[in-house]
């Protein structure tokens, strides 16, 4: 199984580590850019995108992640950070997946919800947890849409980048994570 890192600056770090370990991966919390060279794939967790980006800039992760040549999976805030564009937030996106993503598009914390989603690559629906979730407003033709909810793209991939606006790490279901692990193995 691959060795996967979780960006350890802010957000749902331990939840991703637990889910990775539950499927037999070795996992590491990544706290410095130099640690990126020791992993086969990186997860940018959900959390607060502006806080994560500020910490990325302070600790030198912005350029390191933009030049990271292995698969990356971004959940929620990670989706915003990996996007090409985030309207009203020009300093956030790293431009690694050709999406335009709106932060907090699903509303405030109290508007959080769970729903059953059909996801390309999964045989059965996935129970998705949305917490102040971003929505994709636009995707280029090069982006593969994996799932949509209420007319908005909520999961997609392009080359070695996988994103979801929901939090698969908060479920007991590792199937969505396995999609990323398959990308890591194929890389």
User: What gap in Å lies between CA 185 and CA 40, rounded to an integer?
Assistant: 8
Q: For a pLDDT cut of 90, what percent of the chain falls above it? A: 83
Q: What residue segments make up the domains of the chain, in order of their start?
A: 3-186
Q: Is the dihedral of CA 184, 75, 77, 136 positive or negative?
A: positive
pLDDT at site 133 = 84
User: Which residues, 6+ apart, have CB-to-CB distance to 42 below 8 Å?
Assistant: 4, 5, 6, 7, 30, 36, 65, 68, 70, 71, 72, 73
Q: Domain 3-186, CATH 1.20.1070.10 — does that match?
A: no
pLDDT at site 167 = 94
* pLDDT tens by residue, 96-133: 999 999 876 555 555 677 999 999 999 999 999 998 88
Could you list the active site residues?
Answer: 76, 167, 169
pLDDT at site 109 = 55
* pLDDT tens by residue, 33-87: 999 999 999 999 998 999 999 999 999 999 999 999 999 999 999 999 999 999 9
pLDDT at site 90 = 82
What's the per-residue H, E or C state across the chain?
CCEEEEECCCCCHHHHHHHHHHCCCEEEEECCHHHHHHCCEEEECCCCHHHHHHHHHHHCHHHHHHCCCCCEEEECHHHHHHEEECCCCCCCCCCCEEEEEECCCCCCHHHCEEEEECCCCCCCCEEEEECCCCEEEEECCCCEEEEEECCEEEEEEECCEEEECCCHHHCCCCHHHHHHHHHHHHC
Work out the mean pLDDT of the chain and round it to a whole number: 93
Length of the chain: 187
pLDDT at site 20 = 97
């Amino acid at each position: 199984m691959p060795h996967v890192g979780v960006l350890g600056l802010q957000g749902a770090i331990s939840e991703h580590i637990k889910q990775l370990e539950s499927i037999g991966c070795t996992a590491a919390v990544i706290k410095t850019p130099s640690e990126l060279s020791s992993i086969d794939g990186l997860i940018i967790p959900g959390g607060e995108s502006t806080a994560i980006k500020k910490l990325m800039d302070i600790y030198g992760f912005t350029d390191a992640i933009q030049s990271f040549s292995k698969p990356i999976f971004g959940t929620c805030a990670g989706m915003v950070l990996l996007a090409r564009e985030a309207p009203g937030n020009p300093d956030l996106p790293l431009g690694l997946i050709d999406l335009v993503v709106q932060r907090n598009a699903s509303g405030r914390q109290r508007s959080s919800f769970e729903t059953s989603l059909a996801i390309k690559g999964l045989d059965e629906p996935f129970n998705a947890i949305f917490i102040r979730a971003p929505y994709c407003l636009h995707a280029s033709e090069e982006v593969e849409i994996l799932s949509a909810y209420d007319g908005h793209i909520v999961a997609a991939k392009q080359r070695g980048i996988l994103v979801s606006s929901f939090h698969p790490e908060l479920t007991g279901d590792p199937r969505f994570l396995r999609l990323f692990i398959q990308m890591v193995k194929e890389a």
